[in-house]
Amino acid sequence: MKLIKLLNTLGATRTEQQHFSYSVYKKFVVPLALAQYDLREMGHSIILQGSRGCGKTTFIRYFSHWTQFDKKRSSLESDSVNSVILYWKPDTAFFRSISYGWLQEDEAFQFFMVIAGLEIFEELLSAVDNMSHHWPEIINELERSTEFWPSIKLITGLNDRDICSQLQWVKKQLYIAETAIQGPNTSELTSISPSAILKLLVPIIQRECSRLNNVRFSIYVDEFENLSEQQQKIINGYRKGSDATLTWNVAHKRFAKIVNKTDGIEQITETDDFRNLYMEEIYGAEKRSQSYEGIYDYGANSQVFTSEVFLHGLLSEGIASDIEGLSCETLTDLEHINYRQQKEYQERILKLMRKLFPEPQVPELATISMQQKGVKNLVEKQLLKSKIIPVETINEFIKKRPSDAFVSWCISQQKTFKPEQLLDFINNGGATAFKERVRTYSMTALLNMNARFNYVEIPIYSGFERFIALSQSNIRHFIELCYQSLSQLDSEGIELNTLNNIPSVSYEQMHQGAIETSKSFIGKINGFEPSGQKLSLLVNRLGILFQSYQRQAVQSEPEKVSIVVKSVYGEFPEEIDSLLESAKCWRVLIQDEITRDRSAKTVVSSSSQFRLGPICSPGFKISYRKGRTIQLTLEEFTNLCFANNILFQKWLNDHIESEQEIVEQGALF
């Protein structure tokens, strides 16, 4: 296969629209910790949370009857089940619209109950149909049942004892409901409700079907946060009433605003009524102890899994695997989890990824950059300003130790720089303090050079591990980084048969791919409803602020890419609070635990700090690492969020100017 063809196919797949079936059979890469997070084994009601693009929907669909009993399967994973998972993705765009003032409160309730009831009825019938395909005795037992079809008749009024006719009835009733809402006219609506339909039919199915006797039915409501407040309360009431035979569960974006009240007087609470599951943990990321919610370490397991999802995409398009133990089957079949946990296998996967996306270490990047004539001249000119060091020594230093010379370029611009320390470093390896300084400022020097000089492009965002850091294990971002990097290859003439055939992507190509992915993401932020434009403004202004710090000639501290907003007890006005919550939910800002800031002169009341999602970093040429903080007053931050461009630019100029004065006065080392 030609690489260009593969890229075109992958490009189409990335934007491929979902079709009717919810099955992800042979499309779902099974996470290694599946057993621990098997939705079929959950004894409680669950909230499944994760950032956008992390795979919540795919995860639920994998466990649902659509995949477990997919008619394309030649055999089932197991001869028995403990639970049947129903999947309901409400048409939230429609549901939210019917909750507004067009309808009276009772009508809005009635329409929601009827349409939701019909959709859940459809889902239950589909589950029976899918299960009966593999276990024909189910439909036979239901046929003999004196309760099942009469109960169905009670709902639909139809005598037909086949699922297909009943599904057609549902379709017709949905059409009637949809048309009636335009009236609005409730008189033609059928009588049905989500909870009643399940309470009526599930016990009959459990009782009459020998294979389903002690089987729990669990329904997962996807995109819960997009339902209206009242609709969420109704579902919460169902969740509160979950029991051993039927549980209601929900999935939503992490940090989304959701309601905990029921439509009665009760509330639902964690532990008593539900447990939280986080997609990041399911995919192998490890929660940092005492860290903020949503902050993880993306270790080997998480890296392997993310890589496997990417490689599965290639294998699905017909690229053969020449990696021992890697195939579509091993990735999608539960049977092979133990094998995939073996260190040797994981190393082979990581080795392949590191070969495809090789990663230059920081000293190597500095050395590479020194091969650019422009960079070398800048370094030479700066170091020669140290009059006490002979020209020959500097030239020799640049020639023999280009990486150290490069970082020294950055350090030598600091107010506290002492040429004799550099001379000592050149001649004798120097004191520990200077060596430590070289280590601390190596990345800063690279970022500074990139940000200050447009003609310099040091590929700092290249490499597999950096892609992991940039994407924070967000599968959508990771695949996009890989895809955009591969797209930089001269794909026309490259023929691919196997994974090992794929040529390594150069540092520059990966760097370019990362910048394109990042810019594309930043460009889409203004579409992140409902505060997209405000989020976009905030992200762009923070990007400009961090970039301004990073391009200062004098780098007093490495990588200032976080902000702390000074406010009383960390409380913000509603407008700011709501914007920050939305930013966290869309993952454009990340909230971290506060880090001690060496330059801090005042006690900060706010208990947290914010930085841009790392995927934004290449677009702004800033650091993707956590870095140090910039303190802003609440007034400054409010202006940053909402002031017009002229005011913001003026504030930025003043702020950077005052910062430079502080840097010139202060001594860090």
Binding site for another protein (CB under 8 A): 11-12, 14-19, 52, 57, 89, 91-94, 96-98, 100-103, 115, 171-172, 174-175, 178-179, 181-184, 223, 226, 520, 523-524, 526-534, 536, 645
Residues 6+ apart with CB under 8 A from 395: 380
Q: How far is the CB of 12 from another protein (least distance, A)?
A: 6
Q: Are 412 and 385 in contact (CB under 8 A)?
A: yes
Q: How far is the CB of 533 from another protein (least distance, A)?
A: 5
Cα–Cα nearest to 330, from 349, 347, 317, 352: 349
Nearer Cβ to another protein (180/366): 180
3-state secondary structure at position 326: coil
Cα–Cα nearest to 86, from 203, 222, 191: 222
Nearer Cβ to another protein (497/649): 649
CA dist 618 and 488 (Å) reads: 16
Nearer Cβ to another protein (438/522): 522
Q: Are 121 and 155 in contact (CB under 8 A)?
A: yes
Q: How far is the CB of 517 from another protein (least distance, A)?
A: 13
| Six-digit token string for 556 | 């007093």
Q: Are 333 and 30 in contact (CB under 8 A)?
A: yes
Q: How far is the CB of 522 from another protein (least distance, A)?
A: 11
Q: Which residue type, as a one-letter code, is found at position 141? A: E
Q: How far is the CB of 524 from another protein (least distance, A)?
A: 5
Nearer Cβ to another protein (226/412): 226
- Give me the residues paired with residue 276 across strands: 47
Q: How far is the CB of 319 from another protein (least distance, A)?
A: 21
Q: Are 606 and 567 in contact (CB under 8 A)?
A: yes
Q: How far is the CB of 155 from another protein (least distance, A)?
A: 20
Q: How far is the CB of 96 from another protein (least distance, A)?
A: 7
Q: Are 375 and 369 in contact (CB under 8 A)?
A: yes
| Six-digit token string for 98 | 């019917």
Nearer Cβ to another protein (27/52): 52
Q: How far is the CB of 64 from another protein (least distance, A)?
A: 15
CA dist 540 and 267 (Å) reads: 39
Distances in Å between the alpha carbon of 159 and those of 140, 364, 663?
Answer: 17, 76, 84
Measured at the CA of 242, the angle between CA 236 and CA 243, to 5 degrees, comes to 170
Nearer Cβ to another protein (271/644): 644
Cα–Cα nearest to 636, from 569, 557, 545: 545
Q: How far is the CB of 104 from another protein (least distance, A)?
A: 8
Give the ranges where 249-299 is alpha helix by DSSP (H). Answer: 279-282
Q: How far is the CB of 465 from another protein (least distance, A)?
A: 28
- Give me the residues paired with residue 590 across strands: 611
Give the ranges where 213-285 is alpha helix by DSSP (H). Answer: 229-240, 279-282
Q: How far is the CB of 592 from another protein (least distance, A)?
A: 26
Nearer Cβ to another protein (60/131): 60
Q: Are 451 and 549 in contact (CB under 8 A)?
A: no
Nearer Cβ to another protein (17/428): 17
Nearer Cβ to another protein (173/629): 173
Cα–Cα nearest to 87, from 253, 268, 250: 250
Q: Which residue type, as a one-letter code, is found at position 324? A: E
Q: How far is the CB of 456 from another protein (least distance, A)?
A: 23
Q: Are 448 and 550 in contact (CB under 8 A)?
A: yes
Cα–Cα nearest to 6, from 253, 265, 311: 311
Cα–Cα nearest to 145, from 216, 226, 205, 218: 205
**Pairing between β-strand 560-566 and β-strand 589-593 as defined by DSSP bridges:** unpaired
Nearer Cβ to another protein (52/626): 52
| Six-digit token string for 34 | 């599946």
| Six-digit token string for 202 | 């599930």
Looking up tokens 């329904």 gives: 219
What's the per-residue H, E or C state across 374-438?
HHHHHHHHHHCCCCCCCHHHHHHHHHHCHHHHHHHHHHCCCCCCCHHHHHHHHHHCCCHHHHHHH
- Give me the residues paired with residue 347 across strands: none
Nearer Cβ to another protein (475/630): 475
Helix (H) or strand (E) holding 373: helix 373-383
Nearer Cβ to another protein (12/244): 12
- Give me the residues paired with residue 290 across strands: none
Q: How far is the CB of 308 from another protein (least distance, A)?
A: 23
Nearer Cβ to another protein (58/413): 58
Nearer Cβ to another protein (184/363): 184
Nearer Cβ to another protein (19/343): 19
Q: How far is the CB of 177 from another protein (least distance, A)?
A: 9
Rounded to the nearest 10 degrees, the angle between the axes of helix 105-134 and helix 194-208 is 20
Nearer Cβ to another protein (498/533): 533
Q: How far is the CB of 97 from another protein (least distance, A)?
A: 4
CA dist 341 and 370 (Å) reads: 42
